[in-house]
Amino acid sequence: MAARAAARPIAHAHTIWDLVLHIAAWDDAVLRRLGGAAMELSDMENFPPVTDTSDAAWRKALAEVRSVHEKLAAAVAALPDSRLDEMVPGKEGAHYTFYYMLHGVVQHELYHAGQIALLKKM
């Protein structure tokens, strides 16, 4: 499984592994923003490099994406409806609400899930 996740069947495109780490990074960013953190991801955080392509490292990446996703789902389930219209903390000039951000993270995951599904067929 690790070899398949690290494979790059399309030159210059992200691998399944890249996408899994990217999804985990953004789920964590959304979770932190729900907690009140005003933060942005650096390029390195946005697509963390895959430096170890062992089976153990792949299992660790999968455990991480599952863990952060479960934490995000629990935080959303506990979020009072009254907070949905609050502005997301961020750089000066932040202009979107938690409602907008949460819809965005769902769309983000679905988009990358589609990419992963296509890569798995190659």
Instruction: Give per-residue pLDDT as tens, 29-82.
Output: 999 999 999 888 999 999 999 999 999 999 999 999 999 999 999 999 999 999
Q: Residue 51 has what pLDDT?
A: 95
Local structure of 15: helix, strand or coil: coil
Domain spanning 2-120: CATH 1.20.120.450: yes
Task: Name the pLDDT band for 95 (thresholds 50, 70, 90).
Answer: confident
**Tokens (6 digits) for 113:** 């899930």
